[in-house]
Amino acid sequence: MELLIVAVFVAGYLLIALEHPIRINKTATALLTGVICWTIFMLSGPTESLLHSTEYSGLAQSLRGSSESIGDAEVHREYVIHSLAEHLAEIAQILFFLIGAMTIVELIDSHRGFKFVTDRIRTTNPKKLLWVICWVTFILSAILDNLTTTIVMVSLTRKLVSNRDTRLFFAGLVVVAANAGGAWSPIGDVTTTMLWIGGQITAASIIKSLIVPSIICMLVPLLVLSFTMKGTLGDGKTPGTEEKAPPTANLMLAVGVSALISVPVFKTLTHLPPYLGMMLGLSVLWVVSEFANRGLEDDQKGHFTAVHALSRIDMPSVLFFLGILLAVASLQSMHLLQDFAGYLNDTLGDNRIIITLIGMLSAIVDNVPLVAASMGMYSMEIYPTDHLIWEYLAYCAGTGGSLLVIGSAAGVAAMGMEKIDFIWYLKKITLLAAIGYFAGAATYLFLTHT
């Protein structure tokens, strides 16, 4: 049974990684993998390690204390149902958080709120513009998320840089900067968000610990490319020549960004889960949008409503997270991940090496299941909140995806928008991203031991 579930999980992983060649959406594969893993778990008996676990034996004693006629099959069934309910409660917090954040970003974008930022970038010097673009990307990705920021900034570079060869380098560095900026913020990258919601890290600690390594991760490739990049911007047009944003643009940007950055403050003050803070922010922005656009006719108002924003969010990605987190949860409930963590510890011996390799692996395999698996591999009783292992995992999983263009949502978005060739990225950007990745990792490990 263990081998069968592992085989299903690995097969699902491979199909997700090969999404583009086989032309099967990764969301469908993830959902199918998650359901099949739990179905096999339910229909088969408990593993040897599960039988000796405190959770399983405690439930068995509790059930048999109320009725001696309960057999092993009933205990197993109750354990599976109980475990699924517990994991679903944890997963739902992440999904509702993401839905709220996506809707806020879409609502700001529908009012063209980001135009306030993009209109203020007007330099015509390629190297100076590269620095401005990267720093804006780094900051925005910590407030919004790395995927949305990449889309906004790549769209901007297409307006400012008409020379395609130069623009591809800009897009590559945008991916590096977006992933680096998202890693140190509890709301900037989905993997950091998962660790924050799961209780492995706190907002204040992750910002304090990772902001310098993340800056180094972006700064080193930026410095290298500043000296080696050649070419001109071409005759690109400035953003100011576009259609004007509506009068409510700046208001929605200010309220939306305030809603996003207030989520960690809400959690700190109330001790309630972060998704409630995100829902509070969404509801406030929703009310503001209704008042701000109440003078418009219904046919004009529709584009600016939160209902329209909800219809534009990336629901396939939300369902992908549901499927892959369910699949990982089944392995965790069977105690397979804990056993695997023990094997890695016995083999490699140093968790810092293991986490570094996990970060590099995230360039090939989606970082969401990698982080989900890591959360299940290591116990918080041994590695408490804000332990080095969790902070370093947030950095490595968040920035390691920059090593390949397909290694992160930001990279895939840039790849689609600019038609970036995989081999071109591998030749021109991968080495730069790797230098930044290891420089940031070394910075974090140095700072934590001084």
CA 80 from centroid of its chain's CA atoms = 28
The pLDDT value given to residue 430: 92
Separation CA 5–CA 181 (nearest Å):
36
Residue for token pair 């990772």:
210
The DSSP secondary-structure symbol of 400 reads: G
- Which amino acid is residue 432, in one-letter code? L
pTM, to two decimals: 0.73
Give per-10-residue mean pLDDT for the chain (450 aa): 85 80 86 93 79 76 71 82 89 85 85 77 80 92 81 79 86 93 88 88 92 96 87 56 72 88 85 89 92 77 83 84 85 77 75 88 74 81 90 92 81 77 87 95 88
The pLDDT value given to residue 93: 86
H-helix or E-strand containing 178? helix 164-183
Tokens at residue 309, please? Answer: 């924003």
Q: Which long-range contacts (CB under 8 A, 24 or more apart) does 83-86 make?
A: 83/55, 83/329, 83/333, 84/38, 84/329, 84/333
Separation CA 43–CA 235 (nearest Å):
64
Tokens at residue 339, please? Answer: 């056993």
The DSSP secondary-structure symbol of 364 reads: T
The pLDDT value given to residue 380: 85
The pLDDT value given to residue 239: 45
The DSSP secondary-structure symbol of 386 reads: T
